Structures are given as structure tokens and as C-alpha cells.
Amino acid sequence: MQTLKVIKIGGNIIDNEQALDAFIEAFSKIEGPKILVHGGGKLATKLAEQMGVTVKMDAGRRLTDAVTLDIITMVYAGKINKNLIAKLQANKCNAIGFSGADGNTIVSKKRPIKDIDYGFAGDVVRVNTDALEVLLNNKITPVFCAITHDENGQLLNTNADTIASALAIGFAKIYQTELYYCFEKNGVLQDVNDADSVIENINSDNYKTLISDGVIADGMLPKLNNCFHAIENNVYKVCIGKPEMLFNLNNKHTTIQA
């Protein structure tokens, strides 16, 4: 079975032009089918502030009212996505930019209101792989932003980690899928103040212990939940760390296993 790499990059790469250029150059050299998923970086927040729109967050998650949705759609699906596509083309990596609405590739539902109203936030319901498989078979790389749709004309702000996980799961029936979360740290850390204290392997048993001991908390919790959701749904492996792990497996990083 052929391997498919689904790679998600965070704002720390997007916001740093030099780091982004280095990543794109290296990513373009990865052989075989691959999908890139990107977050929004700080640009959406900066544009909102310039427009006098208050940015509302809760536990690191953006509350998306109608005006905010307009802004992040412009930034995520427009400026950032097309900038990435142009850089990939410059590195001879043929790519096409996607939101979940394009090709009806990712369908979500508006998150129900419980304790918090997240507004126009979407939870993934379904990934349609047919159109994307045609592109992958023709050596074209899909690049996804963090916008999906509900099949009723409504765009939705959707967590990029979740989109990457959903894509890896969706393709697991066709490929041996590997999911990579690239961010500014070496991996999941035993001690947040020690950059070298990487927990190199996490499985379902020690994961519970790491949570109860408070080692994994805050923003790392939803990321790890996405990782284990992927593993439980036939994704071959999930790795977390700096982008260098993609090109040198000896580079210290965290691998998630069943």
C-alpha cells in the first residue's frame, strides 16, 4: 500500500518568511503523494485589529461571528493559501488550494452551543476523497486552509489540526497514511521549560498518565486528542515536532502509537 503524508503547519511557520521558504523548499522535495494543511497565523488577527474588529478567544480558540468569518475567509482561503500555492509552484511542486467547500471535499456541521457559543465554527462530518484522489494520482498536491462548509451554503471556521486528522482518516482506506503536526517545539515535552525533554513515544496507556500528572494540558490536549482519534481510525502513525522531523527521522520528535 502506498504511503500518503498529511502535513499540517502552524502559524509559527507561516508568520516567519524565512522559516516558511525553507519549509516549502524542503516539502516540495518530499516524494510520493502528500497533502498540506495550514493554519491562519497572526495575519487574521492583525487584519481584524486594523478593521476595528474585536478578536474574541476562549481557551485559545477563536469565537467566529459573521464579521470574523469574513476576515478569516479572506486571510485563510485567500492571502495565505494562495501565497503557499505560489511558493510551491516556484519550487516545482504542482499544487491546488482548497477550502472544504471546493470539490465538496470536507463537510462540517456548525458546532452546537453548549457552555460557549463558538459562532460559525465547524466540526467535520465527512471527507470526500474522490476528487482529491484524482489529483494525487496526477502528482498534484492539495493545500487546505482551515475553512469548511455545511452543504447549505454556509462556510465554517474549522480547526486545522482537525482537518489534517480528518483527511488522514479519510484516506486511510486507500493509502497507508502518516499524519505530521509541525510546530515550533521539538515535540510533546515532559517539562515545558526544557526544550529537550521530548516524550518520544506516547501510547494510549501512558497518555492517560501524562494527563493525570498534568504533563499534557491546555492547548496540547485537543492536539493529542486529534492524534489518538486518527490512530483509532486506521492512520498508520502520527508525529509531532519541528518540520525537520519530516526530512530526518533521527531528529527528536514525538510519535503517537495505539
Rounded Cα gap, residues 209 and 16, in angstroms: 35
* Dihedral over alpha carbons 9, 31, 104, 174 (to 10 degrees): -120
Average pLDDT, the chain: 93
What is the tens place of the pLDDT at every residue in 178-199? 999 998 889 999 988 898 999 9
DSSP 91: T
The bridge status of strand 147-149 relative to strand 155-157 is antiparallel
DSSP 26: H
CA nearest to 168, candidates 149, 186, 181, 156:
181
Amino acid at 244: E
Task: Tally the residues of the chain.
Answer: 258
CA nearest to 38, candidates 78, 94, 91:
78
What is the tens place of the pLDDT at every residue in 22-74? 999 999 999 999 999 998 868 898 999 999 998 888 766 788 999 999 999 99
What is the tens place of the pLDDT at every residue in 154-179? 999 999 999 999 999 999 999 999 99
The bridge status of strand 106-110 relative to strand 122-127 is antiparallel
What is the tens place of the pLDDT at every residue in 75-91? 999 999 999 999 999 99
Amino acid at 108: S
Amino acid at 144: F
